[in-house]
Structure 1
Amino acid sequence: MSSINSFIRENVESIGDYVHLAPDIPEKKLNNATVAMKCESLVNSIIAIQDGTRFGKGDEGFIFTGERMIHHKHGEFMYSDIQKVTFQEETDNSFGIESTKKSLVIQTSSSTHTLKSMHGINEKKLAQFLNQIVTNFSDFKEELQILVLTEMSDEFKKAYLKIIVNMTYEDDKNIDATELSEILLLRTRLQLSDEARNEILDYVSDISEDTKLTSDSLINELRELSDGSQHESIMISLVKDIINTHYSATNNLAKDFDFIIKNKELFELSDEKIDFAFKAVKDGQAILDEKVDDDKIRENASQLASAAAAIGAPIAAVYISGSVVGLSAAGITSGLATLGLGMGMTGGLAVIGAVGFLTYMGVRSVSGVNELDKFKVKQAMLLEALKQTHSTIHEVIGDINHLVNTLNEIMASSEDNREKLILAEKRVARFVAALKKTSVKADVFEHSVNLTKCPSILDHGRFFELSNEPTKKELYHFVMGRYVMDDINEKKPTYKLNTSASTKELEKVAEILSKLGYFDMKKSIHAKASQALSGVFN
C-alpha cells in the first residue's frame, strides 16, 4: 500500500473543485490559506489546499498534510484522532420550497463537528476520502512537498550522480571528455561538499564492471534517503538528466536509448512522464537557439505546464536539479517568475500601470529600441548558466589539483609504481580534456548571450545618423562588417546580423551600439528625426 502522503496526493482531487496540489499551488493562495488557518510552520508539508472561497482568495476551505486536515472554521483534525466521518443528506421544505441540504459529521475522540455549506466540496466524496484514510492507514507523518536537490544530503546527491555516471559508462565502457564535462556540470549544480565531490571523482576514475554499483541499488538508496511523496519527482528529474547527458554526449536527442529501456521498470514512470522529461530537455536546449526569445520561452514553459497537468506530474519535477543548459533551480525560478510563470511564482510587469506601460512601449516601438527587450529574460538566464559553468571550471581545477597530489604521492612512495603512474596520468589527462569541453560550453553560452545584445536586424538609417562623424567612421565600418545585406535588389536593403561572427566581435558590436546611443530612446528618436529630415531635403 502507498504511503499516506502518496494516497492523499493521488486521491484528494476527488473531493470536489478548486483543489491545488503542491508544488503547483499558486503562491498567493498558499500564503492566504496558511495565514488564515494559522499553520505557517507547515507550509512545506502541505500536500493540497481546497479553495473554498467564491473569488479564489484561498483563505477559506481545507488544507491537507500527511498528519492532519485543517478547515478554516472548524480547525485542525489529526487523522489519528478521527474515529468516524458520516455524510448526511436532508430534505428541507422551508417556505414551501423543497431543497436538499448536505453536511459532513466528523467524530473525533473528544468532539463532534458538523461541516455545512462548503463551496466546491462534494460532501459524499470527502466523507469517503477521509474514511479511507482512517480505515487504511495508521502511520501518519509530515513530508516535505517542495523539493530542490541541492537541499538533499550528500549521500543522496552521490547516488543520483552515480546513476548518471553508470549511463555514460555502460554505452561503450568508457567515459569520454564530453560525458565527463556534463557530469561535472551537474555535480556543480547539485552543490556537493568537497569530500563528496572527490568521491564522485574517484567513482568516475575507477569505474569498471567490477566496481560499478548497480542502478537498482542506487535507486533504492535514493528512495531510502527521501520521502515517499518525493520519489516520482526525483525519478522524473533523474530521467531528464539522463536524457540530457546522453544528448550532450551523442548529439542524439532521444528517449528510447538502451539505458532508459533497460531501467524503465526501476524508474516506475509511465511513457507519458518520460515524454514529459524529454520535452523538458528539448525546450531547455532551445534557449541556445538565437531565434528563441522571451515570448517563445514563455510559450514553451506554458506548454510544459499544460503537459504536466494532463499527466498528473508536478511541473517542478523537471526543475529540481536545475536546467539542462546549466541553470540552477533558483535561476530557472527567477527567469520564469519574471515571465509571470512557474512554480507558484508571480512577476513580470504588474507593478507598472497599464496605461503608462502601454504608452511607454508605444514610444519604444516607434523609436525601434524595443527589439532587445524580447531577450532580457533569456539573456539573464544565459548569464546565470554561464556563471554556473565558470563555477564548474573552478571546481575542475580543484579536481586536477587533487589528482596531481595523488600522482605526487605515488611518485614519492616507490619507484616501482609505473602502472599506477600511467593510470594517474590518464586520469589527469581526462580531466584536462573535460575542462576544455566545459570551457567550450561556456563559450557557447557567452556567444548566445552576446547574440541577444545585438539587434538581429540593424536599422541602418538610424545607425548611420548616430555614427556619421569622422571620429566614428571606424566604428561604423566595424559594425557593418558584422551585418549582411539581405537583398541588394531592394531600394531599402535589410541588414541581418551575421550570427557566425565571433563572440568577441559580437561583444564589441553591442558595446559600440550602446555607446553610440542606438538603444537610448532619446538619441534614437533624434536620429530617426534627423534621418527623416535628411530624406526631405535630399
Structure 2
Amino acid sequence: MTNINVFLRENLVGISSNISIAPQIDEKKLNNAVKAFAFTGSPSTVVALFDNTLFGSGKDGILFTGEQLIYRGSFSDPVSVPFASIEAVEYVETVTGSKGDKTEVSLLIRRKEGAALPITGLLSCNYRKLVETLQTCVQDFSEFTEERQLISIDELGEPLKVAYVQAVINMAYDNDQVIDDKEFAEVLQLMTRLDLTPEARFILRTYMASSSGHIPLATLLERINSNSPAGQVKALHVSLVKDLINVYYSTGGRDIAQFAFLQNNRELLDVSDEEIELAVMAIKNDYDMLRDDLTDDQIVSALKLLSAKAAAVGTPLAAVYLSGSVVGMSAAGLTSGLASLGMGGLLGMSGMMTGIGVAVLIGVGAYAGVRKLTGANELTRSKRRELMLNEVIKQTQLTISLVMKDINFITEKLNEAIRTHGVQDAQIKRLAGLMAQMTGAGAVLTEKTNSAQASATKLRCAQHLDESKLRALTREPTKAELYPWILEFYEERPVVVGRDEAGEEKTEVKLCLKRDRDRKQLETLARAFEAIGYFNVGDVLLGTASEAAGKAREKLSSLFS
C-alpha cells in the first residue's frame, strides 16, 4: 500500500468540488483553516481541506493531514480524530420529513475509545466515496505520519540530486555517445539550480567525462526513489521527464515520438502521455517568457492555461517545477516571478514547503519588494516580467562562476599530473602556467562579483531588526516559521546613535545583522523580508493592526474570565 499522504491526495480529490488538495490550497484559506481548526502542526503538512463555508473562507469543514482529520461544524469547536483512533467509518441514511419522504445522508466515525462522531451537512459531498476513503485508511494502513507535501529538489539530499543529474547525462550520451555544447550547458544550468556541493559537482564532472561506465537508468531511479521524501516519487519522475525533454529540445529535437531515450524508458519513468504533454507545455511556457514581445498579461494567461492543464491531468503544477524552470530560474526565482505577476499561490509554494530555504517566497513577496524599492503602487506593463529575466541572468552568472571553479580544479589536477610524471616540455609548462594564471584571475574576479552581490543583497535586509514589527508580520501560520528563522541572523550589539552634550558617543543595544553571513544566506534572508512585506508600509500597518487587535482580544478575554 502506498504512503498515507499520497493515498489521501489521490483519493480525496473526487470527494467534492469544495475540496482543495495540497500543494494547491489557497494560502489565505489555509491560514484561516489552520487557526479555525486549531491545528498546531506545520501548514506545509496539510494534505487537503474540505471547505464547508458558503463564501470560501475555509473556516468550517474538514482538514486532513497524514495523521488525523479535524472536523469543524458551523459555530462549533473543532474535533481532532487521529486515524489510529478510528474503529470504523459508516455511511448513514436517515429518513426525515413529516411524511418520511426525505433522506439525510451523513457519515459516522466510530472511535476505539470515546463517543462516535457524526459528520453531516457537507456541501456537494460524495459521502459514499469519503466513507470508502476513510475506511480504507483505517483498514489498510498501520502508519500515520504528517509530512511536508512537496519539497523542491535543491532542498533534498546530495545522493538523490546526483542520481537525478546522472539520469539526464545518460540521456545526453544516449543518442550519439557525445555531450555537445548545448547539452553540456543545459546540464550545468541544472546543476546550478539544484545547488550541488563541490563534492557532488566533482562526481558529476567525472561522470560526464566518458560515456563508458554509466550507471543504468533503472539503478539511478532506484536511488532517486529510495532517497525521495515519502509520497514524492511520482512528482520527482514528472520533474525528471521535464528536464530530459528540455535537453532533447536543446539539440534540435521536437517530436516526442522520436525521443528514443524517453520512449524506451517509459515503463521505468512511469509517466502518462498527459503528464508528458504537461511537461512539454511547461517548457514552451518557460521559453516564451524570454520573448521580447510577450507582456505580463500574456504570461499570466499562459500560466493559467498551464495550471488548468495540470489540474486536468491530476498532477500538481509544483511537481513540474521541483527543479526550477528550464530557462534558468531556480524554484525560488520562479516563485518570485509568479508572485510579481500576482500569482504567488499558483504553485502552492506555501503549502509545498516550509518558510525556510527556498520557500521563503510566499504570498506576494517579490511584488512587495519591488514596491518598497520603487514606491509605486502598480508596476508597469512589463516591469514584473523583468524580475523573472533578472533571475535568469543571475542563475546564468552563477553557472559561469561554477564553470570557472571547475576549470580551476581541472587546471590544478593537470599541474599535479605534470609535476608527478616529470614532464619537461617547456611549452606545456608555460601553457599550464598561463591557464593557471587565467583561471586564478577568473577566481579573483568571481570573488569580487560575489562580494559586490553580497553587499547589494545586504541592502535588502534590515541592518537593525525591529523585533516587534517582525512578530506582527509573521502572525499568519504560513509565515510563523520565518520569525525564529530570521532572528537567527541577528545578534545584540551596541550601536552608536549620536552624541551627548559633552560630545561623548551615545550607544544603544540593537539587534544587528551578523557579520559572518555569506551571499547565499543573505539572498535567502532578503527574500524572507520581501515575503513578509517588512519594508512595505501597507503590510507593516496591517501586521501592526492585527497584533494590536490580538492583544486587545486577550485583554478583554482576561477581564471576563
Q: TM-score, normalised by structure 1?
A: 0.70
Greater CA drift, 75-84 or 35-44: 35-44
- Specify the alignment match of 1:187 in structure 2: 191
Q: Which structure 2 residues correspond to residues 114-513 of structure 1 after superposition, within 5 A?
A: 114-205=118-209, 207-209=210-212, 211-248=213-250, 250-256=251-257, 257-341=259-343, 342-344=346-348, 347=364, 373-415=380-422
- In structure 1, runs of 5+ residues without a counterpart are 352-359, 362-371, 436-538
Distance 2:402 2:88 in 1: 58
Structure 1 residue 288: deviation in Å?
A: 2.1
Structure 1 residue 304: deviation in Å?
A: 0.4
Deviations 1:201-245 (A, max 9, x none): 12112x333x10111111111111113421121111111111112
SS at match of 1:15: coil
- In structure 2, runs of 5+ residues without a counterpart are 349-361, 369-376, 443-561
SS at match of 1:76: strand
Greater CA drift, 286-295 or 22-31: 286-295
- Specify the alignment match of 1:103 in structure 2: 106
Greater CA drift, 196-205 or 38-47: 38-47
Kindly report the root-mean-square deviation, in angstroms, between the aligned alpha carbons of the 2 structures.
Answer: 2.9
SS at match of 1:14: coil
SS at match of 2:256: coil
Structure 1 residue 98: deviation in Å?
A: 4.3
- Would the aligned equivalents of 2:341 and 2:385 in 1 still touch at CA under 8 Å? no
- Would the aligned equivalents of 2:339 and 2:367 in 1 still touch at CA under 8 Å? no
| Compared CA separation, residues 339 and 348, structure 1 to 2 (3 A) | farther
- Specify the alignment match of 2:554 in structure 1: none
4+ long deviations beyond 4 Å: 345-351
Matched residue type, 1:402: F
Structure 1 residue 66: deviation in Å?
A: 1.9
- Would the aligned equivalents of 2:106 and 2:120 in 1 still touch at CA under 8 Å? yes
Matched residue type, 2:80: E
- Would the aligned equivalents of 1:335 and 1:380 in 2 still touch at CA under 8 Å? yes
Structure 1 residue 97: deviation in Å?
A: 7.4
Distance 2:42 2:91 in 1: 28
Greater CA drift, 405-414 or 66-75: 66-75
| Compared CA separation, residues 137 and 109, structure 1 to 2 (3 A) | same
Q: Which structure 2 residues correspond to residues 82-97 of structure 1 after superposition, within 5 A?
A: 82-94=86-98
- Would the aligned equivalents of 2:336 and 2:365 in 1 still touch at CA under 8 Å? no
Larger radius of gyration: 1
- Specify the alignment match of 1:507 in structure 2: none
Distance 2:160 2:59 in 1: 37
- Would the aligned equivalents of 1:255 and 1:275 in 2 still touch at CA under 8 Å? no
| Compared CA separation, residues 58 and 200, structure 1 to 2 (3 A) | same
Q: TM-score, normalised by structure 2?
A: 0.67
Deviations 1:13-56 (A, max 9, x none): 23333111111111111111112112242322222111111110
Deviations 1:343-401 (A, max 9, x none): 246559999xxxxxxxx99xxxxxxxxxx932212211111100010011111111011
The share of aligned pairs that are identical, in percent, is 37
- Would the aligned equivalents of 2:154 and 2:323 in 1 still touch at CA under 8 Å? yes
Pairs aligned (count): 405
Q: Does 1:55 align with 2:55?
A: yes
SS at match of 1:288: coil
Distance 2:65 2:285 in 1: 33
Matched residue type, 1:311: V
- Specify the alignment match of 1:26 in structure 2: 26
- Would the aligned equivalents of 2:38 and 2:78 in 1 still touch at CA under 8 Å? no
Matched residue type, 1:291: D
- Would the aligned equivalents of 1:148 and 1:321 in 2 still touch at CA under 8 Å? yes
- Would the aligned equivalents of 1:16 and 1:121 in 2 still touch at CA under 8 Å? yes
Matched residue type, 2:141: F
| Compared CA separation, residues 99 and 399, structure 1 to 2 (3 A) | same
